[in-house]
């Protein structure tokens, strides 16, 4: 029998793990700390509606990822920030997810798929992009602040142009991923266009996240002044032009999508702003820094992405 694990005890990990468990499916949540694992195992995941009322309290199995029981039949949903993809976590995944297993990577930005392929040979590697919105309230509580769509498919490796794809996904594995997410209430689509999906999300994150972190404003407040909109548009134009060389279908619709994200998540603080306020390392290197690296690889300039990367790194201390 296939084992389902969710790696990460942040907002997305708690949301996916909690919804899977609430739908009656056995799921393990692998956290970075033993303390959170003990709490989740003892008290379960509490899922809140967007208005803060309780939707469900779901019992789950939990363990620190370093202590997760290994298996050959594991499908692991990787819901961590790229800053967590350091050698200890990769080594723990290599031990816990056997060579017959699979990784569904939900990380923001780019570069993680190449690192996972190198560190976890022999596993089925899938890319996933979601527009589900969630806010972590405490170590066991997550608020589902907005419903969206989750796409998954073969992992595009964006280290070069043209883009290379990771190995194929076994049909049974694809069906399992799709069915368990659907049963949990998520809208899920098996996609042959994951390059486009990842690049679209990278574009949105590259425009919104660093500017909100630097200006200390919510997503919606980015639209409050002409000057902020102008800065957003400049970053958008530069980034969309670079990503078009890697397969992004650039159009004015993408600019409307950026604006739409700010409107739909108006009260949200971006994850980069939250990290900056908390003094944590941010994902700037895998978002705007990655855009700069893609630009350099094809001989293009990226002054906005270069400056934003440097400023956010200075802001967060590295």
Ranges for all domains in the chain classified under CATH 3.40.50.720:
3-192
Confidence tier at 162 by pLDDT (50, 70, 90): confident
Question: 174-202: per-residue pLDDT in tens?
Answer: 999 999 999 999 999 999 999 999 999 99
CA distance 314 to 318: 6
What is the third-level CATH fold of 3-192? Rossmann fold (3.40.50)
- The predicted model gives 22-31 an average pLDDT of 97
Residue 232 has pLDDT above 90, yes or no: yes
Looking at domain 196-316, its CATH class is mainly alpha
Q: How far is CA 240 from CA 228, 254, 301, in A?
A: 18, 9, 13
Q: Do residues 164 and 63 lie in contact, with contact meaning Cβ atoms separated by under 8 Å?
A: no
Ranges for all domains in the chain classified under CATH 1.10.1040.10:
196-316
Question: 201-226: per-residue pLDDT in tens?
Answer: 999 999 999 999 999 999 999 999 99
| Structural tokens at position 317 | 């201390």
Residue 318 has pLDDT above 60, yes or no: no
Confidence tier at 250 by pLDDT (50, 70, 90): confident
Residue 317's pLDDT is 63
Question: 30-41: per-residue pLDDT in tens?
Answer: 999 999 999 999
| Closest-CA residue to 208 (of 151, 248, 265, 251) | 265
């Amino acid at each position: 029998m296939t084992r389902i694990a969710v790696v990460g005890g942040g907002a997305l990990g708690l949301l996916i793990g909690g919804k899977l468990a609430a739908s009656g499916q056995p799921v393990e949540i692998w956290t970075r700390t033993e303390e959170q694992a003990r709490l989740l195992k003892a008290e379960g995941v509490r899922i809140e509606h967007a208005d803060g009322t309780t939707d469900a309290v779901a019992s789950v199995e939990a363990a620190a990822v370093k202590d997760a029981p290994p298996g050959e039949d594991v499908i692991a949903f990787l819901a961590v920030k790229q800053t967590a993809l350091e050698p200890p976590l990769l080594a723990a995944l290599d031990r816990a997810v056997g060579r017959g297993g699979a990784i569904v990577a939900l990380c923001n930005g780019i570069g993680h798929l190449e690192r996972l392929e190198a560190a976890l040979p022999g596993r089925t590697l899938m890319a996933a992009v979601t527009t589900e919105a969630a806010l972590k309230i405490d170590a066991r509580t997550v608020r589902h602040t907005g419903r969206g769509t989750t796409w998954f498919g073969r992992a595009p490796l964006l280290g070069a142009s043209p883009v290379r794809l990771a190995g194929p996904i076994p049909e049974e594995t694809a069906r399992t991923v799709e069915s368990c997410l659907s049963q949990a209430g998520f809208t899920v689509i098996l996609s042959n266009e994951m390059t486009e999906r990842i690049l679209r999300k990278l574009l949105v994150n590259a425009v919104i996240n660093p500017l909100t972190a630097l200006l200390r404003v919510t997503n919606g407040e980015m639209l409050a002044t002409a000057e902020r909109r102008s800065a957003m548009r400049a970053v958008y134009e530069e980034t969309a032009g670079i990503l078009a060389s890697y397969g992004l279908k650039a159009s004015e619709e993408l600019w409307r999508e950026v604006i739409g994200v700010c409107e739909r998540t108006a009260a949200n603080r971006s994850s980069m702003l939250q990290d900056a306020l908390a003094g944590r390392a941010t994902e700037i290197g895998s978002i705007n820094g990655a855009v700069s690296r893609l630009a350099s690889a094809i001989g293009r300039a990226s002054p906005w992405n270069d400056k934003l990367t440097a400023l956010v790194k200075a802001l967060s201390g590295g």
